[in-house]
């Protein structure tokens, strides 16, 4: 697809307001108290698994910062919650399709659980065991599993709060889908390949209403795909966020003096898992009558009223009622975490894209560059022997970012109708780039199939965002291999806009699988 230089510019600009320094873990005060409904990352991309070019993959990750060894109850989803994946087909910032996930949990033996005869003959009592599993598990053999999660999948066609839903049934006896048990360790499941064989049996082929082609669904634990220097970033950026080598991975210390260099040890999520809600959907059935571009976001909701049971039991710890209240929302990464002011974070979590005009000031006047200026101006001037008065870009208001972030980019990822709103926008007509050819910098790396045209697991949104945040678009950037000034602002507007900012945590497509659901097998709770 042919794209103008200005459209490329705006596509890259979209990354600024949609991302920053970390993934969206624990991004708002209220959601920190509700980890089971905390959305961590949201990916929407044209499927690049071989022979699946007619499909779009959507991945919604929940429950942040899972330690693999975090037993004995591990990481069940909330049976009172509704988890949603919304798709806007026409650009009115109102969902046209919503895939809803509702979870339930049960114990064997009519919710009494596994019981063992305890005591001498004639004096035995049947006593329930304290564990969710009592022996080894494998593909086709779950006899030792004491606890199981299942989920109902539904499709709502139209506004999700007012339109009827259609239940999508599985081939299981009760029509529900099974969520595989978390990877508690190698004694229970064997090595990673054996756990993956176990989990794979819960990938389902499904029929979507009014769609002749089959789709796929999977819900289960995965290795957290995001990489970020999380702890040091939120310790007032406790590193020099500029590439310290002449090129990433060169190992020559030929870059910025004292700058951070690429090292997997800088990724604070390298030992963490997450829980993924994954769909692979036929393009023809999600684009509707639009122009081939879709917008998408994920939300989670809880009942308005929750009354705790003073005498709780399994599946009886509370009574829930009232209207469903949205408590979590995620489209592009880090909007709420590092763009929205702390006083409005919970409001953003409960808001809908059609109402995003109320947050416009956070986009036109982003505060993060000013914070970075406060933290690093004196050190940069000392290191360089310079006298830069302000490291932050000075081209205010950032109208170019409003256009890209809230409306999409003409010719790239703008929907048929333009309604300012925050969501991931994907042009389904732009062919997927094979994994081996993907650029971790997405559009900025001359790969139009990547971020911010949708988002793939291997797109390094952190480095992209840091550079754009500090004014990279005011300087020449490579377009089709040629240094090009995009004309949106001038070099004088961004004194450090040509600096290769980075958090030093490398990410690319080689760190992912190349088939659905793309995210790798979770880390074992017990590695041997």
Q: How sure is the predictor about 9, in pLDDT bands with cuts at 50, 70 and 90?
A: very low
pLDDT of 187 over the 50 cut: yes
What is the rounded distance in angstroms from the CA atom of residue 206 to the CA atom of residue 214?
6
Average pLDDT, the chain: 90
What is the rounded distance in angstroms from the CA atom of residue 479 to the CA atom of residue 493?
21
396 is written with which tokens? 């205010």
Q: What is the pLDDT of residue 457?
A: 98
Q: What is the arithmetic mean of pLDDT over 134-154?
A: 97
pLDDT of 491 over the 50 cut: yes
Q: Which of 174-188, 327-341, 459-473 has the highest mean pLDDT?
A: 174-188
Q: Residue 87's beta-bridge partner residues?
A: 97, 296
What is the rounded distance in angstroms from the CA atom of residue 424 to the CA atom of residue 440?
17
Residue whose structure tokens are 């539904």: 154
Q: How sure is the predictor about 490, in pLDDT bands with cuts at 50, 70 and 90?
A: confident
Residue whose structure tokens are 């510019």: 9
Q: What is the pLDDT of residue 403?
A: 60
Q: How sure is the predictor about 310, in pLDDT bands with cuts at 50, 70 and 90?
A: very high
Q: How sure is the predictor about 515, in pLDDT bands with cuts at 50, 70 and 90?
A: very high
CA dihedral 132, 134, 139, 140 (to 10 degrees): -100
What is the rounded distance in angstroms from the CA atom of residue 183 to the CA atom of residue 195?
7
Q: What is the pLDDT of residue 16?
A: 34
Q: What is the pLDDT of residue 73?
A: 95
Q: What is the pLDDT of residue 1?
A: 39
What is the rounded distance in angstroms from the CA atom of residue 434 to the CA atom of residue 16?
25
Per the model's pLDDT, the better-predicted residue between 8 and 208 turns out to be 208
DSSP element (H, E) containing 16: helix 5-18
pLDDT of 23 over the 60 cut: no
Q: What is the pLDDT of residue 470?
A: 85
Q: What is the arithmetic mean of pLDDT over 374-382?
A: 89
What is the rounded distance in angstroms from the CA atom of residue 31 to the CA atom of residue 271?
22
**Span 240-261, pLDDT tens digits:** 999 999 999 999 999 999 999 9
Contacts of residue 304, Cβ cutoff 8 Å, sequence gap at least 6: 321, 322, 323, 324, 325
Q: What is the arithmetic mean of pLDDT over 135-159?
A: 97
278 is written with which tokens? 């994954």
Q: How sure is the predictor about 442, in pLDDT bands with cuts at 50, 70 and 90?
A: confident
424 is written with which tokens? 């991931």
3-class DSSP state of 282? strand
pLDDT of 359 over the 60 cut: yes
pLDDT of 145 over the 70 cut: yes
- pLDDT > 70 in the chain, percent: 93
Q: What is the arithmetic mean of pLDDT over 293-298?
A: 96
Contact 41, 58 (CB under 8 A): no
Contact 494, 475 (CB under 8 A): yes
DSSP element (H, E) containing 401: helix 399-407
Contact 204, 175 (CB under 8 A): no
pLDDT of 399 over the 90 cut: no
**Span 221-243, pLDDT tens digits:** 999 999 999 999 889 899 999 99
Q: What is the pLDDT of residue 329?
A: 95
Instruction: Name the least confident of 387-391, 461-465, 477-481.
Output: 477-481
Q: What is the arithmetic mean of pLDDT over 481-510?
A: 86
Q: How sure is the predictor about 3, in pLDDT bands with cuts at 50, 70 and 90?
A: very low
HEC string of 199-221? HHCCCEEEECCCCCCEEEEEEEE
Q: What is the arithmetic mean of pLDDT over 164-179?
A: 95
What is the rounded distance in angstroms from the CA atom of residue 420 to the CA atom of residue 356?
7
């Amino acid at each position: 697809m042919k794209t103008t230089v200005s459209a490329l510019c705006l596509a890259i600009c979209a990354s600024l307001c949609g991302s920053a320094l970390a993934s969206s873990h624990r991004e708002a005060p209220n959601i920190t108290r509700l980890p089971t409904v905390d959305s961590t990352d949201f990916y929407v991309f044209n499927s690049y698994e071989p022979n699946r070019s007619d499909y779009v993959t959507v991945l919604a990750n929940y429950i942040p910062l899972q330690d693999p060894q975090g037993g004995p109850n591990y990481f069940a989803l909330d049976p009172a919650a509704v988890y949603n994946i919304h798709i806007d087909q026409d650009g009115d910032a109102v969902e046209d399709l919503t895939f809803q996930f509702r979870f339930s949990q049960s114990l064997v033996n009519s919710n009494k659980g596994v019981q063992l005869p305890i005591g001498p003959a004639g004096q035995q009592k049947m006593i329930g065991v304290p564990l969710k599993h009592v022996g080894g598990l494998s593909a086709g053999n779950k006899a030792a599993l004491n606890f199981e999660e299942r989920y109902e999948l539904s499709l709502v066609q139209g506004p999700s709060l007012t339109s009827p839903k259609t239940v999508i049934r599985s081939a299981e006896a009760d029509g529900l889908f099974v969520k595989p048990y978390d990877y508690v360790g190698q004694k229970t499941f064997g090595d990673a390949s054996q756990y993956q064989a176990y989990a794979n049996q819960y990938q389902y082929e499904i029929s979507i209403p009014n769609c002749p082609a089959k789709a796929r669904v999977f819900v289960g634990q995965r290795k957290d795909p995001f990489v970020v220097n999380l702890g040091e970033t939120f310790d007032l950026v406790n590193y020099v966020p500029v590439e310290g080598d002449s090129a990433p991975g060169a190992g020559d210390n030929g870059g910025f003096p004292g700058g951070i260099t690429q090292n997997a040890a800088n990724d604070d999520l390298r030992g963490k898992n997450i829980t993924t809600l994954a769909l692979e959907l036929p393009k023809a059935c999600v684009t509707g009558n639009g122009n081939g571009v879709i917008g998408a976001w994920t939300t989670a909701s809880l009942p308005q009223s929750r009354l705790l049971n003073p005498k709780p039991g399994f599946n009886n710890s509370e009574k829930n009622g009232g209207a469903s209240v949205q408590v979590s929302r995620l489209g592009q990464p880090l909007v709420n975490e590092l763009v929205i002011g702390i006083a409005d974070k919970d409001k953003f979590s409960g808001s809908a894209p059609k109402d995003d005009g109320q947050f416009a000031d956070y986009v036109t006047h982003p505060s993060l560059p000013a914070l970075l200026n406060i933290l690093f101006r004196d050190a940069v001037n000392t290191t360089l022997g310079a006298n830069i008065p302000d490291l932050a870009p000075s081209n205010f208001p950032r109208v170019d970012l409003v256009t890209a972030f809230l409306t999409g980019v003409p010719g790239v990822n703008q929907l048929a109708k333009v309604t300012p709103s925050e969501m991931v926008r994907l042009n389904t007509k732009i062919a997927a780039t094979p994994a081996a050819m993907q650029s971790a910098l997405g559009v900025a790396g001359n790969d139009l199939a990547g971020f911010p045209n949708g988002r793939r697991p291997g797109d390094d949104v952190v480095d992209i965002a840091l550079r754009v945040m500090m004014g990279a678009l005011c300087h020449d950037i490579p377009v089709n291999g040629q240094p090009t000034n995009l004309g949106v602002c001038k070099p004088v507007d961004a004194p450090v806009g040509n600096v290769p900012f980075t958090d030093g945590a490398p990410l690319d497509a080689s760190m992912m699988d190349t088939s659905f659901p793309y995210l790798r097998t979770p880390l074992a709770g017990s590695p041997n």
